[in-house]
Amino acid sequence: MDLQLIWFILIAILFVGYFFLEGFDFGVGILLPVLGNDDIDRRVLINTIGPFWDANEVWLITAGGAMFAAFPNWYATLFSGFYLPLFLILLALILRAVGFEFRSKKPEAGWRKMCDVFIFFGSLLPAFLWGVALTNIVQGLPIGADMNMQAGFWNLLNGYALLGGLAAVAMFTLHGALFLSLRTAGDIKHRTEQLAQRLWVPVGVLLLIFALLGYYQTVLFEGLGLVPGTLPMITILSFVAIRVFISYNKMGWAFGAGGMTIVVGTIVAFEGLFPRVMPSSINPDFTLTIYNASSSDYTLTIMSFVALIFVPIVLAYQGWSYWVFKERVSREQIEKSGH
């Protein structure tokens, strides 16, 4: 393997981890007004992701940093062409952080309602815009010979990209419901399990339409890939497994199957793009690849040693935090502690 391939795989892993982990964060935030019948219910929902949400965002920061250092041309084209969507994502994540951190600082109902709105839209908007952004990339973008995108924000909101945004919101919402079934107790747990069962069919229909149109709308199926059809089939089977496990009340397995759907679905996008990182719809010669977008081998070598040292430390810490805060959250705990 050359260094460009290694760093492409590493960045893909970082985005896979981000969508898996932040996906259930987004889902919980989206479900806040749906499952939160009162302030205590909403506090229960927030506490399920309270110890994790900020650490989960580190995956995105690391992915962006790795992209900047390893593939500066990819970073420059992406962040300039998607400037407004990425700015809106950043703004939404900041407001969501405000909602999480300051909600309990004041007892007034109006204050807490405002923070809940921040959490809801701070989860909904990034989920939608990430779906729009990724869908645009796999469709191909109007990238010129100068590696600049020749399209504005409104050009990104084409019909198929909007469908991709809705599909991302739907899948993350289901992922969040399955996560809550493992992290809550009592009536909320029962309601989240029922909601997950009801969500499965509409989410499945939306994902099926998105996948079928993707055969004609994206560049993912132009090559044969590693093993033709294997990864898409795993994605389909893992999504079907969600319903099977829910039917047998195996919610841990259902959550795992939902996570597998997100993980393999993201891998499908990266594997279908390879060795491209941003395909050009103007001229294939203008396409950014892992080779014409990369840093020097010297830079990649230094970064590889740094990653080899620090990535395992970060993974160990995050795994430890999930182990420490593995207990379910209930209304009784909130009522007893007062927050």
Residue 228 has pLDDT above 90, yes or no: no
pLDDT of residue 1 exceeding 80: no
Confidence at 225, pLDDT banded by 50, 70, 90: very low
Burial (CB count <10 Å: 0-12, 13-18, 19+), residue 19: buried
List the domain range (segments joined by +) for residue 207.
3-298
pLDDT band of residue 21 (cuts 50, 70, 90) is very high
Q: What is the pLDDT confidence band of residue 226, given thresholds at 50, 70 and 90?
A: very low
Q: For the chain, what percentages of helix, strand and coil (3-state, to nearest 5) are there? A: 80, 5, 20
3-class secondary-structure state, position 322: helix
Average pLDDT, the chain: 89
Please, which pLDDT band fits residue 324 given cuts at 50, 70 and 90?
A: confident
Neighbours of 47 (CB within 10 A): 18
* 258 within domain boundaries: yes
pLDDT band per the 50, 70, 90 thresholds, residue 303: confident
Quickly count: other Cβ atoms within 10 Å of residue 195's Cβ. Answer: 20
What string of DSSP letters covers 5-73? Answer: HHHHHHHHHHHHHHHHHHHHHHHHHHHHHHH--SHHHHHHHHHHHTTTHHHHHHHHHHHHHHHHHH-HH
pLDDT above 60 (res 285): yes
Q: Which two tokens stand for residue 271?
A: 């594997």
pTM of the predicted model as reported, rounded to 2 decimal places: 0.91
Inside any domain, residue 325:
no
User: Quick check: is 242 in a domain?
Assistant: yes
The SS3 assignment for 276 reads: strand
Nearest-angstrom CA–CA distance, 213 and 108: 48
Q: Is residue 334 part of a domain?
A: no
State the Cα–Cα distance between residues 198 and 208, nearest whole angstrom. 17
pLDDT of 223 > 60? The answer is: no
Task: Provide mean pLDDT across the span 122-134.
Answer: 95
User: Is residue 80 in a domain?
Assistant: yes
**Is residue 245 pLDDT above 90, yes or no?**
yes
More confident residue, 327 or 3: 3
Q: Report yes or no on 231 lying in a domain.
A: yes
Residue with token string 């805060």: 325
Is residue 213 in a domain?
A: yes
Mean pLDDT of 196-214: 94
CB of 85 within 8 A of CB of 132? Answer: yes
Give the confidence band of 335 by pLDDT, cuts at 50, 70, 90. Answer: low
Residue 247 token pair: 């039917």
> Percent of the chain at pLDDT above 70?
96
Reduce the DSSP state of residue 223 to 3 states and report it.
coil
| 46 vs 42: CA distance, rounded Å | 6
CA nearest neighbour of 2 among 225, 230, 290: 290
Pairwise CA distance, residues 108 & 6, whole Å = 51
pLDDT score of 227 more than 60: no
Mean pLDDT of 30-44: 91
The CATH number for 129's domain is: 1.20.1630
Residue range 184-211: average pLDDT? Answer: 93
> Looking at the predicted structure, is the pLDDT value of residue 137 above 70?
yes
* 216/117 Cα distance (integer angstroms): 38
Rounded to an integer, what distance in angstroms lies between the CA atom of residue 189 and that of residue 93?
A: 27
Q: In terms of Cα–Cα distance, which of 251, 175, 196 is closest to 18? A: 175
Phi, psi torsion values for 71, nearest 5 degrees: -135, 70
Is residue 195 over pLDDT 50?
A: yes
pLDDT at 229: 67
Considering the domain boundaries, does residue 319 fall inside one?
A: no
Q: CB–CB of 85/65 below 8 Å?
A: no
Read off the pLDDT of residues 70-126 as tens digits, 9 standing for 90 and up: 999 999 999 999 999 999 999 999 999 999 999 888 888 899 999 999 999 999 999
Q: Which has the higher per-residue pLDDT, 183 or 331?
A: 183
Pairing of the two strands 288-289 and 276-278 = antiparallel
Give me the number of domains the chain comprises.
1
pLDDT on residue 253: 96
Residue whose token pair is 């690849």: 289
Distances from the Cα of 166 to the Cαs of 82, 132, 169, 181, 223, in angstroms?
Answer: 18, 8, 5, 23, 27
pLDDT of residue 321: 81
Give the pLDDT band of residue 232 (cuts 50, 70, 90): confident
